[in-house]
Amino acid sequence: MAEILLAAHCVSRSFGSGGGVHKLDLDVAAGEIHALVGLNGAGKSTLMRLLLGLLVPDSGDVTIFGNTVRAAPSHTWSRVGQLIEYPFAYGELTGRANLEIGARLRGIPISDIKATVDDVLDELDLRRYAPIPARSLSLGNRQRLGLASALQHDPQLIVLDEPTNALDPAGVILLRESLLRRAARGAGVLVSSHHLDEVARVASRVTVINAGRVIGSIDPKGTDIEREFFALVHSDDARHKTRKPEISA
């Protein structure tokens, strides 16, 4: 049985608006790509922030590599690659300089940084943009730069929130191939999306979230995953038709 790298146990977090996530269980195993799918506002980004310790749950707990997130030692985070919502970069620095800073922060030895950066620039077809200040890159290439920073240190756990946002078809294919390679080498991947066709190409497992709750799963190899997804969401909405609207991310 594959090692569980990341797990949420009965996690809840509520906001004044009424949004949030509610008594949610989720795990990510080594060697799998686990997709989290839901409509906009379903709670995907909130959940990912909770999983990475960027938000503190009201109840429940999250473990990462066997440690609670709140007590995880610093070296644990060098084994994680993440991109939540918007890619961060120092706008005045070049793409290469941004990646070099990220590599150093992740503990890559100075002697290995150039090769590490060169490899990920080639992997995501960014080499031509390496000397350009990040603020001058297109939205899609800033997204590629953020993904490169999340992946360059060869993390054992990868958490990506809507990673195909702003990517052109070539960028989507490069990311798809990168995630499949990394999962084949034993990394665990959690990726959120509302693009069901792309999910079907990469995911080992698909969990559906709606209004902050896990409401079921979908077979990524099914014949009509879009129909199955909307059937789950509509059924859940019908069961909770009296609830207040949720506006969590």
Three-state SS for the chain is CCCEEEEEEEEEEECCCCCEEEEEEEEEECCCEEEEECCCCCCHHHHHHHHCCCCCCCEEEEEECCEEHHHCCHHHHCCEEEECCCCCCCCCCEHHHHHHHHHHHCCCCHHHHHHHHHHHHHHCCCHHHCCCEHHHCCHHHHHHHHHHHHHCCCCCEEEEECCCCCCCHHHHHHHHHHHHHHHHCCCEEEEEECCHHHHHHHCCEEEEEECCEEEEEECCCCCCHHHHHHHHHHHHHHHCCCCCCCCCC
Sheet strands side by side (includes 59-64):
20-29, 4-14, 59-64, 67-68
Reported pTM = 0.93
- Do 211 and 240 contact (CB within 8 A), yes or no? yes
pLDDT band at 244 (very low <50, low <70, confident <90, very high): very low
What pLDDT is stored for residue 195 in this prediction? 84
What pLDDT is stored for residue 247 in this prediction? 41
What pLDDT is stored for residue 248 in this prediction? 43
pLDDT band at 222 (very low <50, low <70, confident <90, very high): confident
Residue 30 tokens, joined: 């080594």
What pLDDT is stored for residue 245 in this prediction? 47
Q: List 36's β-bridge partners, or say none.
A: 192, 207
- Domains of the chain, by residue range, sit at 1-79+156-249, 89-154
Superfamily in which the 1-79+156-249 domain is placed by CATH: P-loop containing nucleotide triphosphate hydrolases (3.40.50.300)
CB atoms within 10 A of CB 232: 18
Q: What pairing do the DSSP bridges indicate for beta strands 59-64 and 4-14? A: antiparallel
pLDDT band at 235 (very low <50, low <70, confident <90, very high): very high
